[in-house]
Every structure is written in C-alpha cells, then in structure tokens.
Amino acid sequence: MQLPKSRRRQKLREKKCQYPGCDKIFYGIHISKYCAEHRQDRYRIRKRSRPENVNIKNQTIQHPYTEVTMTVMHCKLPGCDNQFEVKLYPRQFIYPKYCPEHRNEYKRIRHLQRIGREDLIEQMKCESDSVELEYGSGADVLGADDDMTDVA
C-alpha cells in the first residue's frame, strides 16, 4: 500500500525495544529504538569513539605506499556511482568509505530511501546499535551507584 507522502506526520508502528534484555513492544516512529522507559536519560548508552567503530563510516585500506599517494575510490553506498579522491598516507590505513556527499548519515538515509532500499537503512542503524550496546551493558555504568553505597 502506498501512502501519500505530502503529509509530514510520522506514522507510529509497533517496535521492539532494543535495550539489552528488554524486548518490550511499544509504538514509535520508525527511528525509535527504545521503549518509553529506556528512552530516559539514565539509560542512555554512551557512545565512544574507539578504533573498532571506524568501519561504519570508514574502511581499512592496506596500501603499500611509503609516500603520500592519491587514489580514486568508489563510494561504498549501494546505488551511488560517485568516485572521490583519497590521499593515502604512509602507515595510515583508515580512510573514508563514502563519497563526500554521503559521509553524512542523514544523506545516506535519504539516498537509500530514494532507491527504495529501506532494508539497508535498518541494517545501517543496526550496525551503529551494535557498537552502542557494546558499552551500554558494561559494568562501568553501574559503578557510579556502587560508589554511593560505599559512603554509607
């Protein structure tokens, strides 16, 4: 069923809370990830930039160059034919994965919507989620409460 796109209202749909161990069903717009409870600030999962994160937006290029070298890359976004120049630096192997236009997550989502690959949007969000969850269930979140009880 095709819905007219003229209205900007977001449609609510059944979603499953993605907080570890919750699985509660709630109604939310398509980008909602958590139930009302887990949307609260104290459950917010902190994002940290760690080397493991880079592959969402970046790629590893194992090049052999010992001098700065220009190369041309293809944007890794499905359906995008853009090419872009990348400067390869000696002993640096992390480089952008997307063309300058698609380094912005919002633009990647827009592009995927345009080519009708909503499934890839979900996948992309899941990739970011798995990174977030890795730290959200960590013991350091609970550590603050332990400190409080020590005082008493």
Of residues 80 and 124, the one with the C-beta less far from Zn ion = 80
Provide the token pair at 58: 């970046």
Question: In the set 13, 16, 24, 50, which binds Zn ion (CB under 5 A)?
Answer: 24
The amino acid at residue 86 is V
Residue 38 makes contact with Zn ion by CB under 5 A = yes
Residue 63's SS3 state is coil
CA distance 20 to 14: 18
For the chain, the 3-state helix, strand and coil shares in percent, each to the nearest 5, are: 40, 15, 45
Question: In the set 15, 33, 45, 75, which binds Zn ion (CB under 5 A)?
Answer: 75
The residues facing 71 across adjacent strands are 86
Q: Which stretch binds Zn ion (CB under 5 A): 6-14, 52-60, 67-75, 115-123?
A: 67-75
Of residues 35 and 45, the one with the C-beta less far from Zn ion = 35
Question: In the set 10, 40, 60, 82, which binds Zn ion (CB under 5 A)?
Answer: 82
